[in-house]
Amino acid sequence: MKLIGPFKQIVTLRNLPLRGKLSDDQLEIMTDGGLLIKEGKIEKVDSFQNLKEQFPNVEIEKIEGVQICLPAFVDSHTHICFGGNRANDFAMRNAGKTYLEIAETGGGIWSSVQHTRSANEEELLKTTLERINFLISLGITTIEIKSGYGLDAENELKMLRVIKKAQTFTKATLVPTCLAAHLKPRDFEGSSQEYLQFILDEILPKVKEENLAKRVDIFIEKSAFLPEESKEFLLKAKELGFEITVHADQFTSGSSRIAVEVGAKSADHLEATIDEDIEFLAQSETVATALPGASLGLGEKFTPARKILDAGGILAIASDWNPGSAPMGNLIAQASILATFEKLSTAEVLAGITFRSAFALSLEDRGTLDKGKKADFVTFKTDNFQNVLYHQGSLKAEAVYIDGEKTA
Ligand SMILES: [Zn+2]
């Protein structure tokens, strides 16, 4: 056993509801606290002094200076395995060019597909690990990563194998998701419905066989896959034993309803969700995931996070880090900016990037500092936890712990 502390404040996030709005006075803030760690898990959270008296012989890892401690963050939606760079798309979009004009000059998602297809596994592994390490430096220790820039059997499997390999190089938990249904590739001869069938017949069985992912995602949108064909695809993927998540309601409404109807773990984006569908989603077990990085990258409106929480929904916040629409990758900056536009309490933001986003990944062993939970936590050199969001991402994490060990 090991005692880590003292911390000026430990914000445990325990004993909070999974769904609905939260006020900051619901937060448990332990002053001059300590964490007792046993075999990578939290044994006890209490005042440092009490723990020292109760366990006089325990090894002590002393915290220097004034620091606060939070559960480590969970980024439940990223696309950080990719080749190439789309800075020119960003510049063109900001200069007023349309999606089509950008595509005509060789930009758009197809350029990421070409770069990812032409990259070998080592190159992809190297850049993916660099992005993972950046996320860890922010205090994020659980990272979902999607495929979706391969869009054929060989390259979708290549991406998922790279993510699996990346797991052997990092202590962070990586959660792979198959997003072969990102869009129908230009070189697929057949309808989008036939492409979805191809995924079911040719890709998902191999994903299962090699144990590359337990989750399947789809982009339901006018430019990608239509609602009815998507629903059929998701029900079949579910029959194969996959958990479901959906890129829903980014530009047009209607698909969050499908996510709920198929029992998806999460519906992500929701910038265009209509009020009636917010109610429907909020009454379900499907997590509503806001992706403020995409709103910031595209200059589009934010997910109606306030309405989702007020309606009693489970709100998570994730980075959507990808080369096209969300290049920033700084979840803390994005979540605090979402808070200023959507009027979210600190408790709601912290819940959205910890235990509520962990729930979206079916990882209920983390996201709070409580007995039996995975000892993943992050510390900041400050005397007040409010400073983390107040500085909008510019207050750097002091240390990041995974399974009770300092890693960054
Ligand atoms: Zn995405």
Tens of pLDDT, residue by residue over 117-140, are: 999 999 999 999 999 999 999 999
In this structure, the answer to whether residues 65 and 82 fall within a common structural domain is: no
In this structure, the answer to whether residues 79 and 66 fall within a common structural domain is: no
The per-residue b/e assignment along 188-199, b for 16 or more CB within 10 angstroms, e otherwise, is: eeeebbebbbbb
Taking the centre of ligand 1 as the mean of its atom positions, its distance from the CA of residue 28, in whole angstroms, is 33
* Cα 148 to Cα 109: distance, rounded to the nearest angstrom: 10
Residue 78's pLDDT is 98
In this structure, the answer to whether residues 170 and 307 fall within a common structural domain is: yes
N- to C-terminal Cα distance for the chain? 21
In this structure, the answer to whether residues 131 and 257 fall within a common structural domain is: yes
The model carries a pTM of 0.98
Taking the centre of ligand 1 as the mean of its atom positions, its distance from the CA of residue 61, in whole angstroms, is 39
Residue 385: give its domain's CATH number.
2.30.40.10
For the chain, how many structural domains are there in total? 2
* pLDDT tens-digit series, residues 257-294: 999 999 999 999 999 999 999 999 999 999 999 999 99
Taking the centre of ligand 1 as the mean of its atom positions, its distance from the CA of residue 338, in whole angstroms, is 17
Residue 408's pLDDT is 72
Taking the centre of ligand 1 as the mean of its atom positions, its distance from the CA of residue 287, in whole angstroms, is 15
In this structure, the answer to whether residues 108 and 66 fall within a common structural domain is: no
* pLDDT tens-digit series, residues 53-62: 999 999 999 9
In this structure, the answer to whether residues 323 and 394 fall within a common structural domain is: no
In this structure, the answer to whether residues 148 and 239 fall within a common structural domain is: yes
What's phi and psi for 243, nearest 5 deg?
-80, 155
Residue 192's pLDDT is 97
Q: To the nearest 10°, the Cα dihedral for 11, 270, 223, 83?
A: -10
Low-confidence ranges of the chain (pLDDT < 70): none
In this structure, the answer to whether residues 401 and 320 fall within a common structural domain is: no
Taking the centre of ligand 1 as the mean of its atom positions, its distance from the CA of residue 392, in whole angstroms, is 22
* Cα 232 to Cα 227: distance, rounded to the nearest angstrom: 9
Classify residue 275 as exposed, middle or buried by CB count within 10 Å of its CB (0-12, 13-18, 19+): exposed
Going by C-alpha positions, the residue among 333, 289, 324 that lies closest to residue 308 is 289
In this structure, the answer to whether residues 163 and 199 fall within a common structural domain is: yes
Taking the centre of ligand 1 as the mean of its atom positions, its distance from the CA of residue 108, in whole angstroms, is 14
Q: Write out the E strands in 171-326.
A: 173-181, 215-219, 243-248, 266-269, 287-290, 315-317
Q: Where are the alpha helices (DSSP H) in 299-385?
A: 305-310, 331-342, 346-352, 355-360
Residue 238: give its domain's CATH number.
3.20.20.140
Taking the centre of ligand 1 as the mean of its atom positions, its distance from the CA of residue 67, in whole angstroms, is 34
In this structure, the answer to whether residues 235 and 175 fall within a common structural domain is: yes
Residue 50's pLDDT is 97
Domain that holds residue 379: 2-71+368-406
Angle at 70 between CA 69 and CA 74, to 5 degrees: 145
Residue 169's pLDDT is 98
In this structure, the answer to whether residues 188 and 279 fall within a common structural domain is: yes
In this structure, the answer to whether residues 140 and 164 fall within a common structural domain is: yes
